Amino acid sequence: MLRRLLRRVTFTDIFMWLIGAALVAMVIYGTARTLIVGKYGPVEWLNMTISGLALGGIYALIALGYTLVYGILRMINFAHSEVFMSGPLTAYFVAEALDKHGLLDRSPVPSLLLIFLVSMAVSTGVAILLERIAYRPLRTAPRLVPLITSIGASFFLQYTFRGLFGSGVKGYPEPDWLKIKWCIRGTAMCITITQVLVIGCAVLMMAGLYFFVQWTKTGKSMRAVSEDKETAALMGIDVDRVIATTFAVGGALAGVAGVLYALLFRQVQFFMGFVPGIKAFTAAVLGGIGNIPGAMVGGLVLGIFESVGPNLFLDGLGIAAPYQLKDAIAFTMLVLILIFRPTGILGERLARKKA
Partner 1 sequence: MPRKRVAILVSLVILMLVLSQCGTPKPKAFECTDALGCVDIAPGAPIHLVYMMVVTGPDESLGLDTKYGVEIAIADKGKVLGHDVQLTGEDTGCNAEGGQTAATKVAADKTVVAIVGTNCSSEARPAAPIITQAGLTMVSPSNTAPDLTLPEKHQAGYLRTAHNDKIQGAAMAKFAWEKLQVKKAATIHDGSLYADQLQQVFAEEFKKLGGTITAQEAVDPKDTDMKPVLARIAATQPELIYYPIFIAAGGFITSQARQVPGLENVYLSSADGTFSPDFVKAAGEACLGMYHSSPDFGAFGAGYQDFLKKYETKYGRKVMAPFHAHAYDATNMIFAAIEKVAVQDADGTLHIPRGALRAALFATKDFKGLTGNLTCSPTGDCADPKIAVYQMMSADPATWNPGSSPDSNPKKIWP
Partner 2 sequence: MEMKTRFDWKAALNAGAVAGISALLICLVGMVASFGQRYIISGVLSIGHTLLLMNMILAGFIAVRRARYENRLFTLLSGALAGLVTSAMVAVVVLIGQYVNLRAVLINASTELYRLLTFGQNAFVGLAILLLIGAVLGLLTALVSLLPDYIRRAVVLAFAILLMFGLLRDLLRVMFEGWGPLGGLFLWMFPVAGGLSIPGVVFLLVVAAGISLLGSLLIGPKVCPSVKQWVGKQPRGGQLAVRLGVWALLAALALLAPRILGVYPSEVLNMVGLFALMGLGLNVVVGFCGLLDLGYVAFFAIGAYTVGVLTSPEISYSPHWPFWAALPVAMVAALLSGLILGIPVLNTRGDYLAIVTLGFGEITRLFFLSDWLRPYVGGAQGIQLIAPARIGGLLLTQPRELYYLILAGCLLVIFVSTRLKNSRLGRAWMAVREDEDVAQAMGIGLVNTKLLAFATGATFAGLSGALFATKLGSIYPHSFQLLYSIYVLCLLIVGGMGSIPGVLVGSLLLIGLPELLREFAEYRMLVYGAVLVFMMLTRPQGFLPAKPGTRRTGKEAEKSAP
Q: Which of 31, 47, 77, 119 binds partner 1 (CB under 8 A)?
A: 47
Does 234 help bind partner 2 (rule: CB under 8 A)?
no
The contacts of residue 327 (CB under 8 Å, 6+ apart) are 279, 306
Q: Where are the beta strands (DSSP E) in 234-301?
A: 267-268
Does 307 help bind partner 2 (rule: CB under 8 A)?
no
Among 62, 67, 60, 80, residue whose Cα is nearest residue 135: 80
Quote the longest CA-to-CA distance of the chain. 77
| Residue 291 φ then ψ, to 5° | -115, 120
> Of these partners, partner 1, partner 2, none, which one is at the site of residue 109 (CB under 5 to 8 Å by kind)?
none
Among 36, 55, 38, 24, residue whose Cα is nearest residue 260: 55
Measured between alpha carbons, how far is residue 211 from residues 63, 107, 200 in Å? 17, 31, 17
Does 33 help bind partner 1 (rule: CB under 8 A)?
no
Residues 312-341 that bind partner 2 (CB under 8 A): 319-322, 324-325, 327-328, 330-332, 334-335, 338-339
Q: 238: which DSSP letter?
A: -
The contacts of residue 204 (CB under 8 Å, 6+ apart) are none
Q: Which of 31, 86, 90, 311 binds partner 1 (CB under 8 A)?
A: 311
Rounded least distance, CB 326 to partner 1, Å: 8
> Of these partners, partner 1, partner 2, none, which one is at the site of residue 165 (CB under 5 to 8 Å by kind)?
partner 2
Among 51, 29, 111, residue whose Cα is nearest residue 305: 51
Alpha carbon distance 324, 41 (integer Å)? 22
Residues 145-174 that bind partner 1 (CB under 8 A): 167-171, 174
| Closer residue to partner 2 (CB): 185 or 354 | 354
Q: Which of 143, 179, 181, 241 binds partner 2 (CB under 8 A)?
A: 143
Alpha carbon distance 153, 130 (integer Å)? 8
> Of these partners, partner 2, partner 1, none, which one is at the site of residue 281 (CB under 5 to 8 Å by kind)?
partner 2
Q: Where do contacts with partner 2 occur on this chain (CB under 8 A)?
A: 10-12, 15-16, 19, 70, 74, 76, 93, 133-134, 137-138, 140-146, 148-149, 151-160, 162-166, 228, 278, 281-282, 285, 289, 319-322, 324-325, 327-328, 330-332, 334-335, 338-339, 342-344, 352-355
Q: Where do contacts with partner 1 occur on this chain (CB under 8 A)?
A: 39-40, 43-44, 47-48, 51-52, 55, 167-171, 174, 188-190, 192, 261, 265-267, 269, 271-272, 274-275, 306-308, 310-311, 315, 320-324, 326-327
